Amino acid sequence: MLPLDSSLIRLIQFAIREDLGTGDITSDLSIPRDATAAARFLMKQDGVVCGLPMLQLVFREFSSDVDIELKVNEGDRIKSGTVIALVEGPAHALLAGERTALNFIQRMSGVATKSRQYVDQIVGTKARVLDTRKTIPGWRLLDKYATTVGGAFNHRLGLYDMVMIKDNHITACGGIREAVSTIVADLHDRPMIKVEVEARSLDDVLEILQCKGVHRVMFDNFTPEAVAEGVRLVDGRLETEASGGISFENIRDYAEAGVDFISVGAITHSATALDISMKLFVPKQG
């Protein structure tokens, strides 16, 4: 479900102010204030539609008289040429909100579509695709919502909801054992926080297995063959995750290595916005 909180409303309002500024000068000079209009939101390429709830949230910032009729469901695979929504209301509201509404649903649909492509690529394996923190600043919740619409799973939302001991932490603490023991000792009153440790070699994996309190090991920049050996060493004692160097072309090799999770930054940082347009039309009378 789309996360409806104050940060999302502030983001929408910021986007509107950024676009509208002192007003829509073109519409103000050409269209009567009391004019009404109707418009279609049209998919212009195949993909997974995402962000439909944003239409209501954006247009209500301009007028409570905008009516929205959704023609498809969130997360549907849509063919090019499909009308995904109809909007009707004050012409000034529709035109002023057009670009902001499109920016949201185009980006979100692009992320959902790319996520679905990666998820489909590993169908039949036990692996699950995870997103990362490689998101547009300020868009974290929307990007991570869109990945789930595309069938992926959320990794940690930020630095606050999961411990991830990476190479820099290990270096700063003086080693894997030192980092893990220090952190786990301080987590005794927060048992719900999971601990993941990054491994850069199979020797690191063996050392992580000797540490108490670890929930998941991350094979960082391992080859698929090394991941398979790491999975064998772990032998189900911890969750396993592959990360780094994952592409659409090789993700199935990693999945078939037996890993539980595969984190893919590309589903957010390299997603291309889907081509969606809003076109005004004259409603039939009677």
Strand partners, 281: 38
> For residue 285, what pLDDT is reported?
58
Q: What is the residue-level pLDDT of the chain in tens, covering all 286 positions?
A: 888 889 999 999 999 999 999 999 999 999 999 999 999 999 999 999 999 999 999 999 999 999 999 999 999 999 999 999 999 999 999 999 999 999 999 999 999 999 999 999 999 999 999 999 999 999 999 999 999 999 999 999 999 999 999 999 999 999 999 999 999 999 988 888 999 999 999 999 999 999 999 999 999 999 999 999 999 999 999 999 999 999 999 999 999 999 999 999 999 999 999 999 999 987 765 5
Nearest CA among 66, 51, 89, 94 for reference residue 274: 51
Which of 71, 140, 156, 166 is flagged as catalytic?
166
pTM attached to this predicted model = 0.95
> For residue 286, what pLDDT is reported?
52
For the chain, list the domains and their CATH numbers. Answer: 6-118+272-281 (3.90.1170.20), 153-263 (3.20.20.70)
- Rounded Cα–Cα distance for residues 65 and 70 (Å): 16
Nearest CA among 280, 276, 281 for reference residue 54: 276
Q: Note if 220 is an active site residue.
A: yes
Q: Which two structure tokens, joined as six digits, stand for 86?
A: 């109809």
- Which residues make Cβ contacts (< 8 Å) with residue 17, sequence separation at least 6? none
Which of 134, 140, 156, 177 is flagged as catalytic?
134
Which of 24, 131, 204, 220 is flagged as catalytic?
220
**Cα separations (Å) of 273 from 92, 185, 198, 283?**
26, 44, 32, 29
> For residue 189, what pLDDT is reported?
83
Which of 40, 99, 177, 200 is flagged as catalytic?
99
Which of 74, 98, 198, 241 is flagged as catalytic?
198
Q: Note if 134 is an active site residue.
A: yes
